[in-house]
Amino acid sequence: MALFDRIRKEWFIIGIVLVITFAKLEPSVGVKGGPLKPEITITYIAVSAIFFNSGLSLKTEELTSALMHVKLHLFVQSFTLAFFPVAIWFILRLLALTSINQWLLKGLQTVGCMPPPVSSAVILTKAVGGNEAAAIFNSAFGSFLGIIVTPLLLLMFLGSSSSVPFSSIFSQLFMTVVVPLIVGQVFRRFIKDWLERRKPPFGAVSSCVLLMIIYTTFCDTFSNPGIDLDRFSLVIVVFIIFSIQLSFMLLTFLFTTRRKSGFTPADTVAIMFCSTHKSLTLGIPMLKIVFEGYEHLSLISVPLLIYHPAQILLGSILLPTIKSWMVTRQRAEKLTNVQPI
């Protein structure tokens, strides 16, 4: 029974392994021009479906309660969409001197360019008891901001790798990302009560479509005999990803717990998760658009595929420690705020 519960909880991670395995066994099914016709079904239909689903599920009406905490929002968005990609760029200058696969290193740069995720940071913040409203706001706002900023960052750091003209990238982003997202939000206004009552499995739907995108991406890779991935590079990249996450979580913790930072312990929890987590759901479709037709797309996608489960695993492991710290810190602050009679 425990095994089935574990499988149910980790089905998406298992799904990623399975679709990559199927792509290895039969790559001809999902390649461009193959039976699945990914140039239509994935590039347009699947990506649009993910963002329409995001528009339907995004509870923008809940964001007003967190709107006024401008300092917190500025910190999170600046860290995740400015400091993070620039810091990764500097780290990669050093790693470029090693024998690590260059396409995996480029993939690490794409991770740095991604917006915060819609769900994982919020779930972990809520589990700890942190500032959930701030986490919801920054996840939602970061997703909207990422639609514009992420493609610009990708083109700025990896522009020479793109085989698609700048204007074509943004017109496709507008049609397959912005329009479905807005349409989803409009639909939500009319069926909000029904959605709240029924609670459709938005996360599961997006995850299934995402697995389809991952499958076709790796079909392109395995159909190209010239692409090779050595295990040494893969193991090193996994280690680097965990190191980056831990280091950046520690950095945000140290910065937001300074005496005059102005952040509460609950704020610190939200900032730690929102600033360091990256979106796979938004990231993979964006990579598919920006690097459409690029033979090394799947290798560039690998670090993001690793980063997603790593951030959830690391967050879950650290959850009890972070919760214990927050409760202790809150009690200490209450005691210091009690005025003597």
154 neighbors 286 (Cβ within 8 angstroms): yes
For residues 291 and 211, give the distance between their C-alpha atoms in angstroms, rounded to a whole number. 18
For residues 102 and 65, give the distance between their C-alpha atoms in angstroms, rounded to a whole number. 44
Cβ neighbour number for residue 303 with a 10 Å cutoff: 27
Side-chain half-sphere of 316: how many Cα atoms within 13 Å? 9
* CB-based contacts of 81, cutoff 8 Å, min separation 6: 113, 115, 142, 145, 146, 149, 150, 153
pLDDT in tens, the chain (341 residues): 555 555 556 787 788 888 888 988 888 888 878 888 888 888 788 888 877 887 787 766 656 666 678 889 999 999 999 999 999 999 999 998 988 888 899 999 999 999 988 677 887 888 888 888 788 788 878 878 888 888 889 888 886 444 556 666 677 777 887 788 889 888 988 898 898 888 888 778 877 887 888 888 788 767 766 566 678 888 999 999 999 999 999 999 999 998 888 898 999 999 999 999 998 877 888 887 778 777 778 788 889 888 987 888 888 888 889 989 999 988 887 777 655 54
Backbone angles phi, psi at 4, to 5 degrees: -65, -40
For residues 119 and 144, give the distance between their C-alpha atoms in angstroms, rounded to a whole number. 14
Q: Tell me which residue of 221, 237, 242 sits closest to 299, measured CA to CA.
A: 221
